[in-house]
Amino acid sequence: MRDEWDRAHTDYTVPAQRQIPASLAESENDWRDHLERSTPNGWLIRDNAMTAALVSGKPMYLLHTTKDINAIRTSGQLHVSTGCLVGALYCSPLSSQREGLRPHNLGAYLMRTKPSTTPMVFEVIPDAPIRPKGVDYLHLGAIHLRTYERYQSFLTPAENDQLDRTVLAGLRAAAVFLDVALRNAAGHATPAREFIDQLSDAVPRVPFLGYLYFEVLSEYLMLHSATPETKTCAQAGELNNWLYKRMAFSAVNGMDQLFDLARFNPRHHRLVQIIEGIEPALGPGVAEYVRQRLSHLFALSALHPSQDAASVTFQGTDLSTIQKAAPGLIGQMVFREIRYMARYRQLYHCFEKSKALEAWDYWNSEGIPTPFNGILPKGEIGINPAYPRSTVRVWTAEPDGKGFLHPTEEVMAVLTPHLASWWAPQRQREM
Protein backbone atom coordinates (compact mmCIF):
# COMPACT_ATOMS: atom_id res chain seq x y z
CA MET A 1 0.00 0.00 0.00
CA ARG A 2 2.75 2.45 0.89
CA ASP A 3 4.51 1.70 -2.40
CA GLU A 4 1.35 2.75 -4.25
CA TRP A 5 1.28 6.08 -2.41
CA ASP A 6 4.99 6.59 -3.06
CA ARG A 7 4.34 6.07 -6.78
CA ALA A 8 1.51 8.60 -6.64
CA HIS A 9 3.79 11.36 -5.29
CA THR A 10 6.49 13.39 -7.03
CA ASP A 11 9.37 15.41 -5.59
CA TYR A 12 10.76 17.66 -8.32
CA THR A 13 13.85 18.55 -6.27
CA VAL A 14 15.32 15.05 -6.73
CA PRO A 15 15.59 12.64 -9.69
CA ALA A 16 12.53 10.50 -10.44
CA GLN A 17 12.47 7.28 -8.42
CA ARG A 18 9.50 5.40 -9.92
CA GLN A 19 10.02 2.07 -11.63
CA ILE A 20 8.58 2.33 -15.15
CA PRO A 21 7.43 -0.20 -17.77
CA ALA A 22 10.05 -1.58 -20.15
CA SER A 23 10.55 -0.35 -23.74
CA LEU A 24 9.55 3.27 -23.17
CA ALA A 25 11.44 5.55 -25.54
CA GLU A 26 12.13 8.06 -22.74
CA SER A 27 12.43 7.75 -18.99
CA GLU A 28 10.83 10.13 -16.50
CA ASN A 29 14.18 11.80 -15.98
CA ASP A 30 14.66 12.18 -19.75
CA TRP A 31 11.39 14.08 -19.90
CA ARG A 32 12.11 16.13 -16.79
CA ASP A 33 15.51 17.13 -18.11
CA HIS A 34 13.97 18.11 -21.44
CA LEU A 35 11.17 20.15 -19.85
CA GLU A 36 13.45 21.91 -17.38
CA ARG A 37 16.14 22.79 -19.90
CA SER A 38 14.28 23.20 -23.19
CA THR A 39 11.21 25.27 -22.31
CA PRO A 40 11.10 28.95 -21.32
CA ASN A 41 9.55 28.27 -17.92
CA GLY A 42 10.97 24.82 -17.21
CA TRP A 43 13.24 26.16 -14.49
CA LEU A 44 10.10 26.75 -12.40
CA ILE A 45 9.54 22.98 -12.08
CA ARG A 46 12.39 22.79 -9.59
CA ASP A 47 12.87 26.39 -8.49
CA ASN A 48 9.48 27.92 -7.70
CA ALA A 49 8.13 30.04 -4.87
CA MET A 50 5.82 27.34 -3.49
CA THR A 51 8.56 24.73 -3.20
CA ALA A 52 10.85 27.30 -1.57
CA ALA A 53 8.17 28.08 1.00
CA LEU A 54 7.63 24.38 1.76
CA VAL A 55 11.27 23.54 2.35
CA SER A 56 11.93 26.71 4.38
CA GLY A 57 10.05 25.36 7.39
CA LYS A 58 8.68 28.86 7.99
CA PRO A 59 4.99 29.67 8.51
CA MET A 60 2.97 29.37 5.32
CA TYR A 61 0.03 31.55 4.35
CA LEU A 62 -2.66 30.04 2.15
CA LEU A 63 -5.83 31.37 0.53
CA HIS A 64 -9.11 29.45 0.54
CA THR A 65 -12.41 30.77 -0.78
CA THR A 66 -15.77 29.71 0.64
CA LYS A 67 -19.39 30.21 -0.36
CA ASP A 68 -20.72 29.94 3.18
CA ILE A 69 -18.61 31.59 5.84
CA ASN A 70 -21.62 31.67 8.20
CA ALA A 71 -21.86 27.86 8.27
CA ILE A 72 -18.17 27.67 9.18
CA ARG A 73 -18.60 30.20 11.98
CA THR A 74 -21.67 28.40 13.32
CA SER A 75 -20.23 24.88 13.20
CA GLY A 76 -16.68 25.82 14.16
CA GLN A 77 -15.48 23.29 11.60
CA LEU A 78 -13.94 23.20 8.14
CA HIS A 79 -14.43 20.11 6.02
CA VAL A 80 -12.08 19.06 3.23
CA SER A 81 -12.69 18.05 -0.37
CA THR A 82 -11.57 15.19 -2.59
CA GLY A 83 -10.49 15.77 -6.20
CA CYS A 84 -6.85 16.27 -7.16
CA LEU A 85 -5.76 16.59 -3.49
CA VAL A 86 -7.55 13.38 -2.35
CA GLY A 87 -8.64 14.79 1.01
CA ALA A 88 -7.32 18.26 1.76
CA LEU A 89 -8.64 21.80 2.06
CA TYR A 90 -8.05 23.28 -1.40
CA CYS A 91 -5.95 26.45 -1.27
CA SER A 92 -3.39 28.53 -3.15
CA PRO A 93 -0.25 30.18 -1.75
CA LEU A 94 0.01 33.68 -0.35
CA SER A 95 3.30 35.54 -0.05
CA SER A 96 3.77 37.90 2.89
CA GLN A 97 4.92 41.33 1.74
CA ARG A 98 5.08 44.78 3.30
CA GLU A 99 1.87 45.83 1.54
CA GLY A 100 -0.05 42.72 2.69
CA LEU A 101 -0.53 39.14 1.55
CA ARG A 102 -0.10 38.77 -2.20
CA PRO A 103 -2.16 35.98 -3.78
CA HIS A 104 -0.53 33.49 -6.14
CA ASN A 105 -1.85 33.99 -9.68
CA LEU A 106 -4.12 30.96 -9.15
CA GLY A 107 -5.63 32.63 -6.09
CA ALA A 108 -6.01 35.89 -7.96
CA TYR A 109 -7.88 33.99 -10.65
CA LEU A 110 -10.21 32.36 -8.11
CA MET A 111 -10.95 35.67 -6.41
CA ARG A 112 -11.69 37.41 -9.71
CA THR A 113 -13.93 34.65 -11.07
CA LYS A 114 -15.73 33.87 -7.80
CA PRO A 115 -16.71 37.31 -6.49
CA SER A 116 -19.53 35.92 -4.33
CA THR A 117 -17.12 33.89 -2.17
CA THR A 118 -15.38 34.97 1.02
CA PRO A 119 -11.56 34.85 1.01
CA MET A 120 -10.03 33.14 4.03
CA VAL A 121 -6.38 33.30 5.08
CA PHE A 122 -4.79 30.28 6.74
CA GLU A 123 -1.53 30.42 8.67
CA VAL A 124 0.13 27.01 8.87
CA ILE A 125 3.12 26.78 11.21
CA PRO A 126 4.88 23.48 10.42
CA ASP A 127 6.95 21.50 12.88
CA ALA A 128 9.86 21.18 10.40
CA PRO A 129 10.77 21.89 6.77
CA ILE A 130 8.11 20.21 4.62
CA ARG A 131 9.06 17.55 2.10
CA PRO A 132 8.04 18.90 -1.33
CA LYS A 133 6.23 15.72 -2.40
CA GLY A 134 3.10 16.42 -4.40
CA VAL A 135 0.30 13.93 -5.06
CA ASP A 136 -0.28 13.23 -8.76
CA TYR A 137 -3.87 12.10 -9.27
CA LEU A 138 -3.00 10.61 -12.65
CA HIS A 139 -1.07 7.93 -10.74
CA LEU A 140 -3.85 7.04 -8.30
CA GLY A 141 -5.31 4.29 -10.51
CA ALA A 142 -3.92 1.33 -8.59
CA ILE A 143 -5.26 2.85 -5.35
CA HIS A 144 -8.69 3.41 -6.92
CA LEU A 145 -8.74 -0.23 -8.04
CA ARG A 146 -7.68 -1.61 -4.66
CA THR A 147 -10.30 0.53 -2.91
CA TYR A 148 -13.02 -0.73 -5.24
CA GLU A 149 -11.99 -4.36 -4.71
CA ARG A 150 -12.03 -3.84 -0.95
CA TYR A 151 -15.53 -2.34 -0.90
CA GLN A 152 -17.00 -4.15 -3.88
CA SER A 153 -19.63 -5.70 -1.59
CA PHE A 154 -21.17 -2.23 -1.13
CA LEU A 155 -22.49 -2.51 -4.70
CA THR A 156 -25.32 -4.81 -5.69
CA PRO A 157 -24.52 -7.74 -8.00
CA ALA A 158 -26.33 -5.89 -10.78
CA GLU A 159 -24.24 -2.76 -10.18
CA ASN A 160 -21.00 -4.76 -10.22
CA ASP A 161 -22.04 -6.51 -13.44
CA GLN A 162 -22.96 -3.21 -15.05
CA LEU A 163 -19.63 -1.72 -13.97
CA ASP A 164 -17.70 -4.62 -15.55
CA ARG A 165 -19.69 -4.39 -18.76
CA THR A 166 -19.26 -0.64 -19.05
CA VAL A 167 -15.50 -0.74 -18.40
CA LEU A 168 -14.99 -3.60 -20.84
CA ALA A 169 -17.13 -1.92 -23.51
CA GLY A 170 -15.12 1.27 -23.14
CA LEU A 171 -11.84 -0.58 -23.40
CA ARG A 172 -12.94 -2.48 -26.51
CA ALA A 173 -14.20 0.69 -28.20
CA ALA A 174 -10.94 2.53 -27.49
CA ALA A 175 -8.55 -0.44 -27.81
CA VAL A 176 -7.07 0.58 -31.15
CA PHE A 177 -6.14 4.03 -29.86
CA LEU A 178 -4.82 2.66 -26.55
CA ASP A 179 -2.48 0.38 -28.49
CA VAL A 180 -1.44 3.30 -30.70
CA ALA A 181 -0.56 5.31 -27.60
CA LEU A 182 1.58 2.49 -26.21
CA ARG A 183 3.39 2.05 -29.54
CA ASN A 184 4.09 5.80 -29.58
CA ALA A 185 5.40 5.61 -26.01
CA ALA A 186 7.77 2.89 -27.20
CA GLY A 187 9.10 5.12 -29.95
CA HIS A 188 6.98 4.15 -32.97
CA ALA A 189 5.67 7.56 -34.02
CA THR A 190 2.33 8.00 -35.77
CA PRO A 191 1.09 11.19 -37.49
CA ALA A 192 0.17 13.80 -34.88
CA ARG A 193 -3.06 14.93 -36.59
CA GLU A 194 -4.35 11.36 -36.77
CA PHE A 195 -3.28 10.71 -33.17
CA ILE A 196 -5.21 13.73 -31.85
CA ASP A 197 -8.39 12.79 -33.69
CA GLN A 198 -8.18 9.20 -32.45
CA LEU A 199 -7.64 10.53 -28.92
CA SER A 200 -10.70 12.76 -29.25
CA ASP A 201 -12.83 9.80 -30.32
CA ALA A 202 -11.53 7.66 -27.45
CA VAL A 203 -12.24 10.11 -24.61
CA PRO A 204 -16.01 9.37 -24.38
CA ARG A 205 -15.15 5.65 -24.15
CA VAL A 206 -12.33 6.08 -21.60
CA PRO A 207 -12.98 9.37 -19.77
CA PHE A 208 -9.61 9.21 -17.98
CA LEU A 209 -8.04 10.14 -21.31
CA GLY A 210 -9.77 13.53 -21.10
CA TYR A 211 -7.99 14.23 -17.83
CA LEU A 212 -4.68 13.14 -19.31
CA TYR A 213 -5.27 15.26 -22.43
CA PHE A 214 -6.07 18.33 -20.33
CA GLU A 215 -3.04 17.96 -18.05
CA VAL A 216 -0.65 17.51 -20.98
CA LEU A 217 -1.97 20.66 -22.62
CA SER A 218 -1.84 22.57 -19.32
CA GLU A 219 1.80 21.57 -18.96
CA TYR A 220 2.52 22.60 -22.56
CA LEU A 221 0.98 26.04 -22.09
CA MET A 222 2.50 26.80 -18.68
CA LEU A 223 6.01 25.70 -19.64
CA HIS A 224 6.14 27.16 -23.17
CA SER A 225 4.23 30.42 -22.81
CA ALA A 226 6.24 33.61 -23.38
CA THR A 227 3.57 36.29 -22.93
CA PRO A 228 4.17 39.33 -20.66
CA GLU A 229 1.57 37.92 -18.26
CA THR A 230 3.44 34.61 -18.01
CA LYS A 231 6.79 36.39 -17.58
CA THR A 232 5.35 38.42 -14.73
CA CYS A 233 4.20 35.21 -13.05
CA ALA A 234 7.64 33.65 -13.58
CA GLN A 235 9.33 36.65 -11.95
CA ALA A 236 7.29 35.85 -8.85
CA GLY A 237 8.32 32.17 -9.05
CA GLU A 238 4.95 30.99 -10.36
CA LEU A 239 3.61 29.05 -13.34
CA ASN A 240 0.73 30.84 -15.09
CA ASN A 241 -2.55 29.09 -14.22
CA TRP A 242 -4.74 31.47 -16.24
CA LEU A 243 -3.59 29.76 -19.43
CA TYR A 244 -5.20 26.38 -18.84
CA LYS A 245 -8.34 27.95 -17.38
CA ARG A 246 -8.86 29.81 -20.66
CA MET A 247 -8.12 26.66 -22.60
CA ALA A 248 -10.68 24.56 -20.69
CA PHE A 249 -13.45 27.11 -21.04
CA SER A 250 -12.74 27.51 -24.77
CA ALA A 251 -12.75 23.75 -25.35
CA VAL A 252 -15.93 22.74 -23.51
CA ASN A 253 -19.25 24.58 -23.32
CA GLY A 254 -20.46 24.95 -19.75
CA MET A 255 -17.11 24.12 -18.18
CA ASP A 256 -17.51 27.18 -15.94
CA GLN A 257 -20.62 25.53 -14.44
CA LEU A 258 -19.16 22.03 -14.03
CA PHE A 259 -15.43 21.49 -14.46
CA ASP A 260 -15.69 18.00 -15.95
CA LEU A 261 -12.63 16.83 -17.87
CA ALA A 262 -14.45 13.71 -19.09
CA ARG A 263 -15.86 16.10 -21.70
CA PHE A 264 -12.47 17.49 -22.73
CA ASN A 265 -11.72 16.08 -26.20
CA PRO A 266 -11.01 18.74 -28.88
CA ARG A 267 -10.15 17.31 -32.29
CA HIS A 268 -6.96 18.37 -34.08
CA HIS A 269 -8.36 21.39 -35.94
CA ARG A 270 -10.12 22.69 -32.83
CA LEU A 271 -7.07 22.02 -30.64
CA VAL A 272 -4.79 24.14 -32.82
CA GLN A 273 -7.45 26.83 -33.02
CA ILE A 274 -7.81 26.97 -29.21
CA ILE A 275 -4.07 27.12 -28.53
CA GLU A 276 -3.47 29.76 -31.21
CA GLY A 277 -6.28 31.79 -29.67
CA ILE A 278 -4.43 31.78 -26.35
CA GLU A 279 -0.89 32.27 -27.71
CA PRO A 280 -0.43 32.11 -31.50
CA ALA A 281 3.21 30.98 -31.41
CA LEU A 282 2.27 27.79 -29.53
CA GLY A 283 -0.21 26.47 -32.09
CA PRO A 284 2.16 24.80 -34.57
CA GLY A 285 3.90 22.56 -32.03
CA VAL A 286 1.00 21.51 -29.82
CA ALA A 287 -0.20 18.37 -31.64
CA GLU A 288 3.24 16.78 -31.79
CA TYR A 289 3.82 17.61 -28.13
CA VAL A 290 0.55 15.93 -27.15
CA ARG A 291 1.40 12.85 -29.22
CA GLN A 292 4.74 12.36 -27.49
CA ARG A 293 3.90 13.47 -23.97
CA LEU A 294 0.46 11.92 -23.61
CA SER A 295 1.71 8.58 -24.95
CA HIS A 296 4.50 8.53 -22.36
CA LEU A 297 2.23 9.54 -19.46
CA PHE A 298 -0.45 7.08 -20.52
CA ALA A 299 2.00 4.16 -20.43
CA LEU A 300 3.40 5.36 -17.11
CA SER A 301 0.03 5.83 -15.39
CA ALA A 302 -1.89 2.94 -16.99
CA LEU A 303 0.51 -0.01 -16.97
CA HIS A 304 1.89 -1.98 -14.06
CA PRO A 305 5.62 -1.16 -13.85
CA SER A 306 6.49 -4.82 -14.49
CA GLN A 307 4.96 -4.67 -17.99
CA ASP A 308 6.61 -4.13 -21.37
CA ALA A 309 4.90 -1.28 -23.19
CA ALA A 310 5.91 -2.70 -26.56
CA SER A 311 4.09 -6.00 -26.01
CA VAL A 312 0.91 -5.06 -24.13
CA THR A 313 -2.24 -4.92 -26.25
CA PHE A 314 -5.79 -3.90 -25.40
CA GLN A 315 -7.30 -5.59 -28.43
CA GLY A 316 -8.97 -8.97 -28.06
CA THR A 317 -8.19 -9.45 -24.36
CA ASP A 318 -10.51 -10.04 -21.41
CA LEU A 319 -10.99 -7.73 -18.44
CA SER A 320 -8.99 -9.90 -16.04
CA THR A 321 -5.95 -9.91 -18.35
CA ILE A 322 -6.11 -6.15 -18.89
CA GLN A 323 -6.49 -5.56 -15.16
CA LYS A 324 -3.22 -7.36 -14.47
CA ALA A 325 -1.36 -5.52 -17.23
CA ALA A 326 -2.93 -2.09 -16.72
CA PRO A 327 -4.26 -1.76 -13.14
CA GLY A 328 -3.73 1.99 -13.24
CA LEU A 329 -6.04 2.42 -16.20
CA ILE A 330 -8.70 0.02 -14.89
CA GLY A 331 -8.65 1.78 -11.51
CA GLN A 332 -9.13 5.17 -13.13
CA MET A 333 -12.00 3.83 -15.26
CA VAL A 334 -13.72 2.11 -12.33
CA PHE A 335 -13.35 5.23 -10.17
CA ARG A 336 -15.05 7.38 -12.79
CA GLU A 337 -17.76 4.89 -13.71
CA ILE A 338 -18.83 4.56 -10.07
CA ARG A 339 -19.43 8.31 -10.09
CA TYR A 340 -22.05 7.86 -12.82
CA MET A 341 -24.07 5.40 -10.72
CA ALA A 342 -27.47 6.46 -9.45
CA ARG A 343 -26.44 5.58 -5.87
CA TYR A 344 -23.12 7.43 -5.94
CA ARG A 345 -24.44 10.09 -3.59
CA GLN A 346 -24.89 7.40 -0.93
CA LEU A 347 -21.68 5.54 -1.80
CA TYR A 348 -19.39 8.56 -2.02
CA HIS A 349 -18.07 8.48 1.55
CA CYS A 350 -17.65 4.69 1.53
CA PHE A 351 -15.05 4.84 -1.24
CA GLU A 352 -13.50 8.27 -0.81
CA LYS A 353 -13.00 8.27 2.96
CA SER A 354 -10.95 5.08 2.68
CA LYS A 355 -8.51 6.75 0.27
CA ALA A 356 -8.42 9.93 2.33
CA LEU A 357 -7.49 8.01 5.48
CA GLU A 358 -4.61 6.37 3.64
CA ALA A 359 -3.47 9.73 2.25
CA TRP A 360 -3.56 11.38 5.67
CA ASP A 361 -1.54 8.52 7.15
CA TYR A 362 1.01 8.78 4.33
CA TRP A 363 1.32 12.55 4.64
CA ASN A 364 1.68 12.36 8.42
CA SER A 365 4.45 9.77 8.17
CA GLU A 366 6.21 11.87 5.49
CA GLY A 367 5.90 15.15 7.39
CA ILE A 368 3.48 16.79 4.94
CA PRO A 369 0.94 19.16 6.54
CA THR A 370 0.37 20.93 3.21
CA PRO A 371 0.12 18.50 0.24
CA PHE A 372 0.07 19.96 -3.26
CA ASN A 373 -1.02 18.87 -6.73
CA GLY A 374 2.15 17.21 -7.98
CA ILE A 375 1.41 16.97 -11.70
CA LEU A 376 3.37 20.24 -11.71
CA PRO A 377 4.06 22.58 -8.77
CA LYS A 378 1.58 25.08 -10.21
CA GLY A 379 0.10 26.41 -6.97
CA GLU A 380 -2.73 24.00 -6.10
CA ILE A 381 -1.93 23.29 -2.45
CA GLY A 382 -4.02 22.01 0.42
CA ILE A 383 -4.06 21.56 4.17
CA ASN A 384 -3.94 18.06 5.64
CA PRO A 385 -6.74 18.02 8.24
CA ALA A 386 -5.25 15.15 10.22
CA TYR A 387 -1.69 16.45 10.67
CA PRO A 388 -0.98 16.47 14.43
CA ARG A 389 2.22 18.51 14.56
CA SER A 390 1.40 21.89 13.01
CA THR A 391 -0.55 24.92 14.20
CA VAL A 392 -3.29 26.34 11.98
CA ARG A 393 -5.09 29.66 12.40
CA VAL A 394 -7.65 31.18 10.08
CA TRP A 395 -9.07 34.62 9.35
CA THR A 396 -11.50 36.16 6.93
CA ALA A 397 -9.78 38.68 4.69
CA GLU A 398 -10.47 41.73 2.58
CA PRO A 399 -8.72 42.63 -0.67
CA ASP A 400 -7.44 46.15 -1.20
CA GLY A 401 -7.34 48.03 -4.47
CA LYS A 402 -3.81 46.85 -5.24
CA GLY A 403 -4.50 43.12 -5.16
CA PHE A 404 -3.28 42.41 -1.63
CA LEU A 405 -5.24 40.61 1.07
CA HIS A 406 -5.53 41.77 4.67
CA PRO A 407 -6.81 39.51 7.48
CA THR A 408 -9.79 41.07 9.24
CA GLU A 409 -11.48 38.68 11.68
CA GLU A 410 -10.07 35.49 13.18
CA VAL A 411 -12.45 32.57 12.73
CA MET A 412 -12.72 30.15 15.63
CA ALA A 413 -12.93 27.03 13.47
CA VAL A 414 -10.79 23.93 13.16
CA LEU A 415 -10.00 21.64 10.24
CA THR A 416 -11.58 18.23 10.70
CA PRO A 417 -10.84 14.95 8.88
CA HIS A 418 -14.32 14.94 7.37
CA LEU A 419 -15.07 15.00 3.65
CA ALA A 420 -17.47 17.59 2.34
CA SER A 421 -20.26 15.99 0.34
CA TRP A 422 -19.72 15.89 -3.40
CA TRP A 423 -21.04 13.91 -6.31
CA ALA A 424 -21.09 14.13 -10.07
CA PRO A 425 -24.49 14.83 -11.60
CA GLN A 426 -25.87 12.01 -13.70
CA ARG A 427 -25.72 12.46 -17.42
CA GLN A 428 -26.22 10.37 -20.52
CA ARG A 429 -23.01 9.19 -22.15
CA GLU A 430 -22.62 7.88 -25.67
CA MET A 431 -20.98 4.44 -25.82
**pLDDT (average), residues 399-409:** 95
**pLDDT (average), residues 231-248:** 98
Give residue 55's Cα distance to chain centre.
Answer: 22
Cβ 62 vs Cβ 93: under 8 Å = yes
Residue 345 — very low, low, confident or very high, per pLDDT cuts 50/70/90? confident
* Bridge partners, 179 (sequence order): none
Interacting residues of 328 by C-beta distance below 8 A, sequence separation 6+: 139, 141, 142, 145, 301, 302, 303, 304
Q: How far apart are alpha carbons 238 and 305 in whole angstroms?
A: 32
Residue-wise pLDDT tens digits, 81-111: 999 999 999 999 999 999 999 999 999 999 9
The percent of residues in the chain predicted with pLDDT above 70, rounded, is 98
Cβ 244 vs Cβ 222: under 8 Å = yes
- Amino acid identity for residue 281 in this structure: A
Give residue 189's Cα distance to chain centre.
Answer: 27
Ordered DSSP codes for 113-151: H-TTSEEEEEEEE-SSPPP-EEE-GGG-HHHHHHHHHHT
- Could you give the angle at which helices 327-338 and 157-185 cross, rounded to 10 degrees? 140
Residue 427 — very low, low, confident or very high, per pLDDT cuts 50/70/90? low
Residue-wise pLDDT tens digits, 299-334: 999 999 999 999 999 999 899 999 999 999 999 999
Cβ 402 vs Cβ 103: under 8 Å = no
Total-model pTM: 0.96
Higher pLDDT, 374 or 17: 374
> pLDDT value at position 425?
52
Lowest-pLDDT range of 71-75, 197-201, 258-262:
258-262
* Whether residue 41 has pLDDT greater than 80: yes
> pLDDT value at position 423?
54
Strands 60-66 and 89-97: antiparallel
At 407 the three-state DSSP class reads strand
Q: How far apart are alpha carbons 283 and 265 in whole angstroms?
A: 17
> pLDDT value at position 177?
98
* Whether residue 384 has pLDDT greater than 80: yes
**pLDDT (average), residues 24-38:** 98
Residue 1 — very low, low, confident or very high, per pLDDT cuts 50/70/90? confident
Cβ 184 vs Cβ 292: under 8 Å = yes
392 phi and psi, to 5 degrees? -125, 130
Residue 422 — very low, low, confident or very high, per pLDDT cuts 50/70/90? low
**pLDDT (average), residues 252-256:** 89
Nearest to 63 by CA among 104, 90, 92: 92
Residue-wise pLDDT tens digits, 173-216: 999 999 999 999 999 999 999 999 999 999 999 999 999 999 99
The secondary structure element, H or E, covering residue 96 is: strand 89-97
**pLDDT (average), residues 369-383:** 98
Mean pLDDT of the chain: 95
Nearest to 294 by CA among 317, 264, 320: 264
Residue 380 — very low, low, confident or very high, per pLDDT cuts 50/70/90? very high
Q: How far apart are alpha carbons 201 and 194 in whole angstroms?
A: 11
* Bridge partners, 381 (sequence order): 91, 372
Q: How far apart are alpha carbons 364 and 373 in whole angstroms?
A: 17
Q: How far apart are alpha carbons 408 and 36 in whole angstroms?
A: 40
Q: How far apart are alpha carbons 33 and 38 in whole angstroms?
A: 8
The percent of residues in the chain predicted with pLDDT above 90, rounded, is 92
Q: How far apart are alpha carbons 102 and 410 in whole angstroms?
A: 19
414 phi and psi, to 5 degrees? -120, 150
Q: How far apart are alpha carbons 220 and 222 in whole angstroms?
A: 6
Residue 430 — very low, low, confident or very high, per pLDDT cuts 50/70/90? very low
